Structure 1
Amino acid sequence: MSAGEKAKAKAEQIAGKLVKKGAHALGDDKTAAKGAALETRGKARAGKEKGKDTFKR
């Protein structure tokens, strides 16, 4: 996995988690769902990059 893509995936996961937790604490379900989606997108990006590395070898 390239360092840039790995950092982008981890940043999306962390940002999504922060948004989700903050919105949940404030009772904003719509924003909490957006944060969960962002976190999931980061996990999917990391999985895609790991899969690319597996097939390169």
Structure 2
Amino acid sequence: MDRDEFVIKNFGSFMADVFKNQNFNNIKSNHLHGYVEFMQDRGYSMSYAVIRFFYD
């Protein structure tokens, strides 16, 4: 699995677990900020680029 795939799958799991949201059509900026903070707290270097690519 490449990095982009990892980020998207992990983001989907994060959305389901934390926000109880399973529909990518309902993503808001606070979801993106929350995910990036979540990953940074765990030592990952995160940017919004991968998620924005799939979000836009």
Q: Which has the larger helix fraction?
A: 1
TM-score > 0.5 by shorter chain = no
When normalised by structure 2's length, the TM-score is 0.36
When normalised by structure 1's length, the TM-score is 0.36
Larger radius of gyration: 1
Flag the structure with more relative contact order, 1 or 2, with Cα contacts below 8 A and sequence separation at least 6. 1
